[in-house]
Amino acid sequence: MVSEIDNIELRVATKEDAKNAQAEIDFILNNNGDETVTGLRDELQQCMTDNAGAFRTGESLEIAIAKVKELHKRFKNIRIKDKSKLFNTELQEAIEFGHMLDYSAFIVESAIARKESRGAHYREDFESRDDENFLKHTMAYMDDKGDIRLDYMAVKLGKHELKPRTY
């Protein structure tokens, strides 16, 4: 296990990455809209709890993805009060919220595609595990427009025997 860490390839950061990160901060500090991060975050939290918790259905997940997309748009219209460079925890919370939106989209899109139940992903419309179609890792990629493309990777078996959960 530990030795596998050495084989992980990490992408080398570019100047472009630094520019993107700086642009993200500049946007949050300077944008002059009328939404608050706290307000949007409350809506996201409530929506994800209601619709994308351990027990979810295709229907609830569609509600969730629509809400996440809506919040993504409204996030472009935020304003924070704290413009200071000193201990700016309001800026920090806004950056975190932007990332929460991205991860919420990853979670929901992956869950919509996985039409089975497995572990903490319990689809009430597909209650059993489907090894034939879904014994695979979900890989999700977001493009510049915020659209998510899904891909799958084979599970390396061998350590644990594959058997139905009967407890």
90 φ, ψ (degrees, to nearest 5): -70, -40
**Which residue's CB is nearer to other proteins, number 36 or number 138?**
36
Radius of gyration of the chain measured on its C-alpha atoms: 19
* Rounded least distance, CB 38 to other proteins, Å: 4
CB 57 within 8 A of CB 124: yes
**Which residue's CB is nearer to other proteins, number 81 or number 156?**
81
* Rounded least distance, CB 164 to other proteins, Å: 38
Site residues for other proteins per CB under 8 A: 36-38, 80-82, 84-90
**Which residue's CB is nearer to other proteins, number 90 or number 109?**
90
**Which residue's CB is nearer to other proteins, number 88 or number 138?**
88
* Rounded least distance, CB 85 to other proteins, Å: 7
* Rounded least distance, CB 78 to other proteins, Å: 10
